[in-house]
Structure 1
């Protein structure tokens, strides 16, 4: 009897082990983070863990089963699903079961896991992709959906990512605003129910909200403390982040294309690939999460992320639409005087039947205006070359004015509603990039200019309108595909530009920061965060975008906005990003002109630190009368500290600011730079040597009681 019982127990143990072996645990890991999935006894995939890396394999068996990884519509779950498919027979439900998973190394330090699931009744396949960047502690995820039903299935929801968190409390930080007021930081607790951040604007998708968020866990996180998950979607169109807290106080985060008005008819064997969702997880605050994104972006994502950026002088705020060849050549002389790398010609240089004398006409007609530029763009590129600077030019190829030859010839290329009066945003309409002929035309705008004028060294690509009058002549009975196919068409164009002109840098602009996502930055070297160049406002705007984007991707120009601030203050703010000028030297004093020349020289010396180094946000402009940010070179031999007094209060107690990111054992000489001609530094300890330990534990007296005062401090190891 005992012998039979012994064999029975052994048999049950072996059976359990074999069963467990059939239910794999799938671990997606970076240096510091684990995302762990396991297959349940019912064959479904569950997210068991997301958090700090678990180094002992035996501990994984003790994890709870968790929540279903990619929840479907129509089954037993009562909250927001990640996917909703209507099958050929009208059945709106899906039940996904694990089939297999693969693991491969994409490149050194980059691993990909692909998990394949299938519906248990219908021939529908869903593949979840996870790409882990080890050193950067960042994970990219996207989804592929396909089927082999006889006719197209209807996709109503198709998330890029679904993440589950089970904590005591959650605090969401969003980055929203409007034109000239982008990426403002707003934090709120998440409690029972659903919070959605989304956009329905189409082309200028990020005008009201940026496609990234911060999620603090178990209390509010700060710059240098707390657990925080930071995520962003790589999609230059309508996006959606859904945060839903359920009856058990568990949170699901669903990220992807906004399915609003975008039901997608998926053909048999066609693969619907979602955009990429990227997230990082920091256990030491928001600052480290930002540095993770910055390192990853420069190394893996942004066009020419390992190369420097050109300084420039733009004519826009110096001339607006009122210019001729002589004015532009004079501004090139200003560029040479300043010592910048390039002159950028902005809007207003094109169209003849309807000359671009304002924003109400000419868009779509990309020939030089003969009255303004009788010798053509080639005359300007040659003038720039003779002066030893590069030449760049502005375009807005996705847009058209109704008052243009293009509109008269090809109204069928324009997104517009039949039987309705047209609604114009900034006096313009959007071209239908779902149409391959329109894609050819938009590519041709760049290609024709580059073919005719190969010395063009830079494009500023603008997009000033969301999609209005939403109807595509080309798509006919597939109108719900427009929002998605427009973006795919844009990517087709940008791929062609990148393939033919791989070394051509371009700035992404959309009436300011209306386009600011990492998929677009595969094709653009930088973006324009805001049309608002008031330096005080820019401190807030740049603070917001810096949460996810490195300095080298953000353009900041010195302009005449807010003349209550000095040229020095405006320049010091712009030097924290990719520096440019929108100003005439004739409008500046001699001291200001001298200062700007010196600042450009200093910036060129500091480029490796500001553009390639680690950023530390020392003092936030939110809730403070001052703000400070510093950049530290990767070797910790050099740093640049930027400090700004915005509106100090009378008799305010001003404390030293502790620096960050230095080597505690190195000795550093501290020197204030970017001083006005004849001015002496009032910085305590200026020119003296301190240990990194002292600078990080005691700090420097960066701030003053002066309104709109700025300091730039160079910290160099001895």
Structure 2
């Protein structure tokens, strides 16, 4: 998978269908020469055309040769201050006050297996062939050494990258930018796609034609955010779901990030991704090192759909961990939208009792079970059970629910604290707040300083006590505000630039401890819905609440955009009551079920308030999902329409890996007078097989190339087809 040609000084990484090449040039600069369709052989540095470019300076070692400049060379990992005026991957303030870093090749090693990152999430190689390439670069003047790590996951056509920076010099160094990946291209006639949005409108695909300049997305909120997502695609301008070249990059990180695409004066392109340099400054003493998070890359020449399916398989099988990564999750019911804070043990039990009769398998008790938590204003941080609501604690309620044949789950928000709490009154310095300044609140709460070991220990001790006090199978881990007043009483002034990143490392440390101590526990990530939906969290929480917006029609767009990178088995999706609390829209119960079944599937309402007909529909939905869950969770996902562009209906399908079964879902989004007969062409089937659809037999080629005529539906109505090979 990894080849070194000593004569040509090229390093080439091969996956099943792609190749990635770099070259050590005569000056020791590591050049990037190719990433794309798999090649048999060749030195692609021949594509670099030396040219005397005005205002592109030349390093000393090339003498009077004005055709060689770092400003025009495609680099594997760019730095600053040495003549490359494009976006740098690495910046540092050195002890002498300069910021010049000149990285040159020192050596490389190849090892079987995939590297791991201490304290950081990363893809792993269980069950798949993998190799690791480590390339060492060094700035000889400062002693700053950079290790470029490459993981090759052959089966998924995925190459991962990470960076370790080590101070081998005699004086401290301040790192001010450490990107995880830098990718240079010779051309730039492309589009780029990002996932934008807002709270309750997460991960909306934004496609932009690449023009000269630096195009940047990112987050400085302390989390990956509702507004942007650490995922980026560069693609042919005519790329579709099924055709065209696509280069995609996802950051395995849950904090501040920045992704950039720069189109240069020479129509070349540079793509970088990593920790956002906003308020980032990491001090390295001599001998110390810093590890940047992992970035995962996929290339597809078969369009955006194939690109997504590569990410889906790798994330599901080699990023998510534990017994739940590839298993059906319990069909659950959550009480939040049914009760808000107004509940007690009997109310929770009554919801569970009704749910158990129609096949729901887990009861999740949401916010309000602890401390003096009767509203948003108080209680966060006090993880002792509210005895007025739950006499005797969690165990009696858990046992009552267990007696119904159901599992029991619970909601927590461990990273936050209310000022009206015993914790804050005892330890006000445990929250982020700068000395002498008033605090900034979000949802009436402050953020605990997870950079401090005693704060992390307090959280972990409380979570352990809670989990050991009752039979708890599931935890919904929420985070309901962005980070402000970011200053830690536990760090000196010169290290305050480390706080954002250390906070994320603290979250990971707690989650990893829970993963090790409670391996059977299913944790669902959440941040006001989808505000921290990223590959980093999926390493610890194999599913994430996709959005607080449970309106079925809005979820069509949210789940569509999320699928660009993330598999359906990671998307927390529930059927909720109508009118919807955010949109005030009413949609048919069947439609809500069809949309929620494209994710982990559950309910967010009080079944006691449903009619007999609706309860019958719930039972039918649960039975159907149990029948085809493996196709949805483990199969290949195909976006058949774009809900942001297709005005009449939204359709998607899941196909089993052996192509013997499929589930096709259609929702009518608009209805017009005298409508045109809707026609749906399917994807992913075997053209040589015959399939049973609604009692009729069709060839796979018919269904994909000619299509299936859909029934006329009213707005917001849905139809779902279960397809089987005959």
Q: TM-score range by the shorter chain?
A: over 0.9
1:313 and 2:297 are equivalent in the alignment: no
Report the equivalent of 1:249: 267
Q: Give the SS at the match of 1:451.
A: helix
Q: Which whole-Å CA distance do the structure 1 matches of 2:363 and 2:330 have between them?
A: 10
CA contact (8 A) 2:162 2:294 kept: yes
Q: Give the SS at the match of 1:456.
A: coil
1:337-382 residue CA offsets vs partner (Å, 9 max, x unmatched): 231221000000010xxx1111111000111112111121111110
2:651 maps to which of 610, 619, 628: 628
Report the equivalent of 1:46: 31
1:503 maps to which of 520, 523, 527: 520
How does 1:157-236 map onto structure 2 within 5 Å? 157-202=177-222, 204-217=223-236, 219-236=237-254
1:80 and 2:87 are equivalent in the alignment: yes
Report the equivalent of 1:593: 615
Report the equivalent of 1:670: 693
Query: Is the alpha carbon distance of 1:450 and 1:564 closer, same or farther for their aligned partners in structure 2, counting shifts above 3 Å?
Result: closer
Deviation at 1:574? Answer: 0.4
Query: Is the alpha carbon distance of 1:647 and 1:123 closer, same or farther for their aligned partners in structure 2, counting shifts above 3 Å?
Result: same
1:129 and 2:149 are equivalent in the alignment: yes
CA contact (8 A) 2:8 2:43 kept: no
CA contact (8 A) 2:82 2:101 kept: yes
1:402 and 2:419 are equivalent in the alignment: yes
CA contact (8 A) 2:23 2:45 kept: no
1:514 and 2:531 are equivalent in the alignment: yes
CA contact (8 A) 1:129 1:141 kept: yes
Q: Which whole-Å CA distance do the structure 2 matches of 1:442 and 1:44 have between them?
A: 47
Report the equivalent of 2:664: 641
Report the equivalent of 1:713: 721
Q: Which whole-Å CA distance do the structure 1 matches of 2:586 and 2:103 have between them?
A: 62
1:558 and 2:575 are equivalent in the alignment: yes
Q: Which whole-Å CA distance do the structure 2 matches of 1:589 and 1:438 have between them?
A: 48
1:459 and 2:475 are equivalent in the alignment: yes
Structure 2 unaligned spans of 5+: 50-72, 114-124
Query: Is the alpha carbon distance of 1:21 and 1:328 closer, same or farther for their aligned partners in structure 2, counting shifts above 3 Å?
Result: closer
Q: Give the SS at the match of 1:287.
A: helix
Q: Give the SS at the match of 2:679.
A: coil
Report the equivalent of 1:546: 563
Q: Give the SS at the match of 1:275.
A: strand
1:302 and 2:320 are equivalent in the alignment: yes
How does 1:5-24 map onto structure 2 within 5 Å? 21=6, 24=9
1:345 and 2:365 are equivalent in the alignment: yes
Segment of structure 1 superposing worse, 66-75 or 310-319: 66-75
1:59-93 residue CA offsets vs partner (Å, 9 max, x unmatched): 64744385121111000111211111222222210
Deviation at 1:584? Answer: 1.5
Segment of structure 1 superposing worse, 461-470 or 426-435: 461-470
Query: How many residues get paired?
Result: 677
Q: Which whole-Å CA distance do the structure 2 matches of 1:80 and 1:623 have between them?
A: 34
Q: Give the SS at the match of 1:634.
A: coil
Segment of structure 1 superposing worse, 164-173 or 89-98: 164-173
Deviation at 1:648? Answer: 2.2
Report the equivalent of 1:370: 387
Q: Which whole-Å CA distance do the structure 2 matches of 1:48 and 1:557 have between them?
A: 46
Deviation at 1:205? Answer: 3.3
Report the equivalent of 1:97: 104
Deviation at 1:303? Answer: 2.4
Calculate the aligned-residue CA RMSD, in Å. Answer: 1.4
Query: Is the alpha carbon distance of 1:330 and 1:344 closer, same or farther for their aligned partners in structure 2, counting shifts above 3 Å?
Result: same
Report the equivalent of 1:9: none
Query: Is the alpha carbon distance of 1:58 and 1:138 closer, same or farther for their aligned partners in structure 2, counting shifts above 3 Å?
Result: closer
Structure 1 unaligned spans of 5+: 1-19, 672-686
Report the equivalent of 1:143: 163
CA contact (8 A) 2:430 2:455 kept: yes
Q: Which whole-Å CA distance do the structure 2 matches of 1:688 and 1:493 have between them?
A: 53
Segment of structure 1 superposing worse, 164-173 or 422-431: 164-173
Q: Give the SS at the match of 1:132.
A: strand
Q: Give the SS at the match of 1:127.
A: strand
Q: Give the SS at the match of 1:318.
A: helix
1:82-112 residue CA offsets vs partner (Å, 9 max, x unmatched): 1112222222101111111111221542121
Report the equivalent of 1:4: none
Q: Which whole-Å CA distance do the structure 2 matches of 1:23 and 1:715 have between them?
A: 53
Q: Give the SS at the match of 2:20.
A: strand
Q: Which whole-Å CA distance do the structure 2 matches of 1:167 and 1:97 have between them?
A: 25
Segment of structure 1 superposing worse, 587-596 or 570-579: 587-596
Query: Is the alpha carbon distance of 1:469 and 1:168 closer, same or farther for their aligned partners in structure 2, counting shifts above 3 Å?
Result: closer
Deviation at 1:703? Answer: 5.3
CA contact (8 A) 2:161 2:181 kept: yes
Q: Give the SS at the match of 2:479.
A: coil
Q: Which whole-Å CA distance do the structure 2 matches of 1:267 and 1:703 have between them?
A: 68
CA contact (8 A) 2:243 2:301 kept: yes
1:396-455 residue CA offsets vs partner (Å, 9 max, x unmatched): 0110001100000011111112111111000000000000001111212321111222x1
Deviation at 1:484? Answer: 0.8
Q: Which whole-Å CA distance do the structure 2 matches of 1:491 and 1:558 have between them?
A: 30
CA contact (8 A) 2:175 2:284 kept: yes
CA contact (8 A) 2:159 2:296 kept: yes
Q: Give the SS at the match of 1:272.
A: strand
Deviation at 1:307? Answer: 2.3
Query: Is the alpha carbon distance of 1:531 and 1:58 closer, same or farther for their aligned partners in structure 2, counting shifts above 3 Å?
Result: closer
CA contact (8 A) 1:27 1:36 kept: yes
Report the equivalent of 1:479: 496
